[in-house]
Amino acid sequence: MFKKILIANRGEIAVRVVRACRDLGIWTVALFDASDRDSLHVRLADECVEITSPLGYLDVQQTVELALATGAEAIHPGYGFLAEREDFSAACEAAGIVFIGPPSDVMAAFSNKIHMLKAAAAAGLTTPLHSSVSFQADEEDVYMAQAKKLGFPIVVKSCSGGRGRASRIVYRADELQRAVREAAAEGQMVFGTNQLYFEKMIRPATFLDVQILGDQYGTLIHLGERDGSIQRNNQKLLSEAPAPGLTPAQRARLHEMALQIARLFGYVNAGTIEFLMDSAGQFYFTEVKCRIQVEHPVTELATRRDLVREQIRIAAGERLGISQEDIRIRGTSMACRINAEDPWNNFLPSPGFLRRFRLPGGPYVRVDTYAYSGCNVSARYDPMLAKLNVWGETREDCMQRMRRALQDFAISGIQTNLPLFQRILDDPDFIAGEYDTGFLQRPLIRAQQEVSDGTLHDLAVIAAVAYQVRLQSQQPVTPERLLQGWHRSGRQLPG
């Protein structure tokens, strides 16, 4: 087992890795830039080193140099930044440092998205229609011809990303040029590359991903699926496991397809195989995430398995200590991605100073976060503050626990999307488990149409307090103690 690991990331995933390493008795080294000096991962790690490169967390060379300088035996990349860069994995291998993730040749196979999709199709798997070549933002003739061939709507995707960052949905030809420019710029900022490709949009669609683990000795297992169809701009906001609405036969087929793809490319370590399911129940393989997933706590709660710990053990050369028969999906788990943004103002980012940050608690409630009262939320990075994860014996228990946890979560100083999730959890379609990737493109309807007396009472109190605060701010009042005689007498000069 490793003695020291460098964490090449920030935010809640860096905190998550620090804690997993501590459970294993491993010394940790945290990287940070100037804006992250007071972040929680820096405070929790055993050592910390500042990144001085203008590339920040994307600098391959400096990250490897810092790992060597601190004596780290391995690097955990988290997700985003360098996590899916085969050149970073190769640089670690060349320097004699273990990259906690797939080998560079496996990552290279998946980074060539078009080759990957063609290989999957040749193996008998169904894939979405996609562009025959990748391109950059300045190759307008190339991507215009590819879009015309596919027809709209299409999804612009980064060759180093997925359906989240650096992806855009385009419905008309006049929107294409701007979408390509934006996706390329975001891909360069987040992943260090601006290479793109197109995928024909499938709608309506259910977004499903299967968590897998594979060791260096050929053992490969799945840990069930997650439904991530509640999305905005192709980024998952709410995920749950198991996916509602799948029949046992569909679920078994989905899991087998995921293992088939992983075997096809010789996958090692933790990863996620992503699919879309259309209204007819047809599965389409879309891509592989060669890293730990943002939503991994959903699977951890449902299976009672520590995925980050397994990542580290596999990278250290240990055999996978669990078999497929050991994996049992218990109850239902959900995760809400709490972002520093205003959902009622076109999701405007809301960085700033956190005056209050009170976490929810209770049985089977877990919050992964880097934030705390008094910290600053940077404007430079993804607005995610926390992941609120809950588990319940049934889906109904899980939803009710999530409603309570959302009410308990208190954040002030910035705007967040907490109210949006409260609406989602009360929506009739979500309650019934009948939703797809177009869920947030329609108005959210409250399940309870009649307003309760308790709600009216709360609104009246809020209005009264707001009125009083506003009144006092407009009409300053001199405190009573300053009007008393002793105060005036005390300020008189001696006669």
> Which residues lie across from 233 on neighbouring strands?
none
Q: Is 48 helix (H, G, I), strand (E, B) or coil?
A: strand
Measured from the Cβ of residue 168, the count of other Cβ atoms closer than 10 Å reads 21
> Which residues lie across from 212 on neighbouring strands?
222, 271
Q: DSSP label at 480?
A: G
Residue 153: asked if its preceding bond is cis (omega within 30°), the reply is: yes
d(CA 277, CA 260): 17
- Which residue has 């640089």 as its token pair? 91
Instruction: Exactly one of 10, 16, 168, 291 is catalytic; name it.
Output: 291
Are the beta carbons of 38 and 376 closer than 8 angstroms? yes
Cα four-point dihedral sign 428, 432, 433, 438: negative
Task: Count H helices and E strands in the chain, helices first.
Answer: 16, 22
356 is catalytic: no
Are the beta carbons of 5 and 312 closer than 8 angstroms? yes
Residues 6+ apart with CB under 8 A from 152: 170, 171, 172, 173
d(CA 233, CA 157): 12
d(CA 235, CA 161): 11
Query: 80 — phi, psi (to 5°)?
Result: 75, -175
Are the beta carbons of 71 and 16 closer than 8 angstroms? no
d(CA 292, CA 276): 20
Are the beta carbons of 157 and 113 closer than 8 angstroms? yes
Are the beta carbons of 446 and 426 closer than 8 angstroms? yes
On the CB side of 240, CA atoms within 13 Å amount to 27
- Secondary structure of 156-204 in the HEC alphabet? EEECCCCCCCCCEEECCHHHHHHHHHHHHHHHHHHHCCCCEEEEECCCC
Residues 6+ apart with CB under 8 A from 359: 367, 369, 408, 409
Q: Is 289 helix (H, G, I), strand (E, B) or coil?
A: strand
H or E stretch at 443: none
Active-site residues, by number, are 291
